[in-house]
Chain A
Amino acid sequence: MNQNEIIEDFPLLQNRNLAYLDSGATTQKPIQVINTIDKFYENNNANPHRGAYSLSIEATEEYENTRTKIAKFINAKHREEIIFSKNATESLNLIAYSYGLDNLKQDDEIVLSIMEHHSNLVPWQKVVKTTGAKLNYMYINEEFELSDEEIESKITDKTKIVGITHVSNVLGTINNVEKIIKYAHKKGAIVVVDASQSIPHMKIDVQKLNADFLVFSGHKMLAPLGIGILYGKKELLNKMNPFLMGGDMIEYVYEQDTTFAPLPNKFEAGTQNVEGVIGLGAAIDYIENLGYDKIAEIEEEVVEYAREKLSELDFITLYMTPNKENHQAVISFNINGVHPHDVASILDSCGVCVRSGNHCAQPLMRFLGIDSTCRASFYFYNTKDEVDKLVEALKKAYEMFRKYMQ
């Protein structure tokens, strides 16, 4: 399958003449995913787990089969280790509330990397404020990476939870989570991995990583908006209290007390986003049919080309590791002396979509000594032509500002 054929699967990319370089925010959706959702509503829609009639049972089967598919996709040991949520943010809140609040005490430590998205940072602030634990950070070196020394000096015997993004949504740095997990376990800590930016691009094997918890959002990997995944080791999830209370997460409800359903229903209160789940199933089929090897092959070529072309522009600053084997799909940059919002507006006028701002990573921005960046993020439907379009638009933006620079 060549790239042109792949692009034909994406209606929006056909309908709009845009260089869409914001897949780190959300990906476009292939027709296979869109059609699967349509078919569900046209043929199988009912409330799973609720009806004794065959239509509801079919909906239940589609919903639960997708859970099994996701478990296989990330190589979870048990299907009930897969919990559906709204997005990675909700999954992280579930862990913070149901594990963090109940298991941490005064003087325990939570260690995060400075490159965490607010979603893997703000919930932990709530946990430390409530429990009296401490929040410590692992900082990046001048190559925008976490060094082994930094990891080993920050994760200590007092550390109970380590939160780490697999790939930074700002820097594109790939963190060696396997190593971090191994070290954290040696110190007796559990590790929460945010795989939101990695799973669209690379195979995740939760057993090989030995992650305790791992989260991601469907919409960054071709699925619809509003569906997220929490993976947790069964023995941890079993011991945790429910996060949200309500229908379908119960066993017996009395006037004053309730017993809860076993996994996974314990963590899925209320009617779920069934179309999202089924859409995510179709997205996984798409990724598996295309194959991670093919995705990597296309992206390595296009992203490498972008790295090269952007490095040639002497008026921009890049926030990116020089070690390309540790870098993936996301390139943050600034035109020197020009605010990223102005750059993004001018790029937009040239049909190039990039994100500008702090990318929900204010502590990282502060650490880098900047307020914001522009961010181009790539997926397998992006082309070298689009990189050229980006580079031309950047030259135009710089020209507009250059003559006013003192």
Chain B
Amino acid sequence: MEDLTDVYNELIMEHSMNSYNKKELENADFCELGHNPNCGDEITLEVKMNGNIIEDMAFHGHGCAISQASTSIMIDTLKGKTVEEAKEIVKTFIEMIKRETKSEEELQKLEDAIALKNISNMPARVKCALLAWHTLENIFEKL
């Protein structure tokens, strides 16, 4: 078995254990619950828009280190992006985790979220990594 320190790396651990994005937003425009019924992970994602730009996001809820870190890193990555840019990044991220990707160059636009790449080697944890991103997709459908 591989050593998991490349999955549970510094960035992921910091985001999962002590995330500054784990809070309540005032005046959120969207509030969406995402959950994985099989494992019980549950997050609520809040989004505040400014026109076409994602002005702020936050989350609360509970789950494993991977789902928590993935949520927090997603927030860092997508804050300040337009909806179109964000959709493109979400798509690329999902492809990376499902191993359907793609050039290193394309992955660069994921910024910090590239730190979650090794989770693509852990099939049992893919849905943990994707929980927040699918939840955000549900919000985009309401736009």
Q: B-contacting residues of A (Cβ < 8 Å)?
A: 338-342, 345-346, 348-351, 356-358, 362, 365, 371-372, 400-401, 404-406
CB-CB under 8 A for A349 and B4, given A341-B64, A404-B18: yes
Q: A-contacting residues of B (Cβ < 8 Å)?
A: 1-5, 7-8, 13-14, 16-18, 38-42, 62-66, 122, 124-125, 128
Residues on the A chain within 8 Å of B14, using CB: 404
Given the complex of chains A and B, what is the CA–CA distance between A351 and B65 in angstroms?
A: 20
A-B contact pairs, 14 of them (CB 8 A): A341-B39, A342-B65, A345-B124, A346-B8, A357-B38, A357-B39, A357-B40, A358-B39, A358-B40, A371-B40, A400-B4, A401-B17, A401-B65, A404-B17
Among A345, A357, A400, A405, max chain B CB count under 10 A is at: A345
CB-CB under 8 A for A342 and B1, given A371-B62, A404-B18: no
Q: Lowest 5 A-B CB distances belong to which pairs?
A: A339-B64, A404-B17, A341-B64, A371-B40, A349-B1
B126 to chain A, nearest CB (A): 12
B71 to chain A, nearest CB (A): 13
- Asked if B13 and A404 sit within 8 Å, CB to CB, the answer is yes
Given the complex of chains A and B, what is the CA–CA distance between A365 and B38 in angstroms?
A: 13
**Closest chain B residue to A371, Cβ basis:** B40
CB-CB under 8 A for A372 and B5, given A341-B125, A342-B66, A405-B17: no
- Determine which of B3, B40, B41, B128 lies in contact with A349 in the assembled complex, contact meaning CB atoms within 8 Å: B3
Residues on the B chain within 8 Å of A342, using CB: 8, 64-66
Given the complex of chains A and B, what is the CA–CA distance between A358 and B63 in angstroms?
A: 13
Residues on the B chain within 8 Å of A358, using CB: 39-40
- Asked if A400 and B17 sit within 8 Å, CB to CB, the answer is no
B18 to chain A, nearest CB (A): 6
Given the complex of chains A and B, what is the CA–CA distance between A365 and B62 in angstroms?
A: 14
B8 to chain A, nearest CB (A): 6
B48 to chain A, nearest CB (A): 27
CB-CB under 8 A for A365 and B5, given A339-B63, A345-B122, A405-B17: no
Among B17, B41, B63, B65, max chain A CB count under 10 A is at: B65
Residues on the A chain within 8 Å of B64, using CB: 339-342
CB-CB under 8 A for A346 and B40, given A406-B17, A406-B18: no
Given the complex of chains A and B, what is the CA–CA distance between A325 and B133 in angstroms?
A: 48
Given the complex of chains A and B, what is the CA–CA distance between A341 and B13 in angstroms?
A: 14
Given the complex of chains A and B, what is the CA–CA distance between A371 and B124 in angstroms?
A: 18
**Closest chain B residue to A356, Cβ basis:** B39
Given the complex of chains A and B, what is the CA–CA distance between A346 and B64 in angstroms?
A: 12
